[in-house]
Chains A and B, each alone.
Chain A
Amino acid sequence: MAAGAAIAGGGGGRRGSATQTVGVLNMLTDLAFNLLIFFVVLASNEPETRGRPQQLPASKESKETEKKSDSTQITISRTTVKFNDTEVPIEELKSKVAGVIAGKSDPAERIVIVKNEGDTPYKTWIRVVGLIEQAGGIITLQLDEEKEVTVP
Chain B
Amino acid sequence: MGLKRRKLEVQPPYVSMADIAFNLVLFFLILAKVQEEKPIPWEPAEGSNVVTITNAKIVVAVGQDGKIYLNGTEIGVGDLAASVGVKLAENPSSKVVLLKIHKETQAAIFNKIMEAVSEAGGDVFHVLNEEKS
Contacts and interface: CB of A to CB of B under 8 A. Distances in A.
Contact of B51 (A5, A51, A123, A126): A51
A98 to B, nearest CB: 15
A151 interface: no
Interface stretch (A25-33, A66-74, A79-87, A102-110): A25-33
B64 to A, nearest CB: 12
Interface in B7-41: 7-13, 15-16, 18-19, 22-23, 25-26, 29-30, 33
A9 B108 contact: no
A9 to B, nearest CB: 5
Interface in A1-50: 1-11, 24, 27-28, 30-31, 34-35, 37-38, 41-42, 45-46, 48-50
A125 B103 CA distance: 10
A116 B48 contact: no
A122 B105 contact: yes
Given A2-B15, A31-B22, A50 B130 contact: yes
A31 B102 contact: no
Nearest to B13: A5
B111 A143 contact: yes
Contacts, number: 168
Contacts of B108: 118-119
Interface of A is mostly: mixed
Contact of B45 (A38, A118, A123, A133): A123
A125 B13 contact: no
Interface of B: 6-13, 15-16, 18-19, 22-23, 25-26, 29-30, 33, 44-56, 96, 98, 101-108, 110-111, 114-115, 117-119, 123-131
Interface of A: 1-11, 24, 27-28, 30-31, 34-35, 37-38, 41-42, 45-46, 48-56, 58-59, 76, 116-123, 125-127, 130, 133-134, 141, 143-144
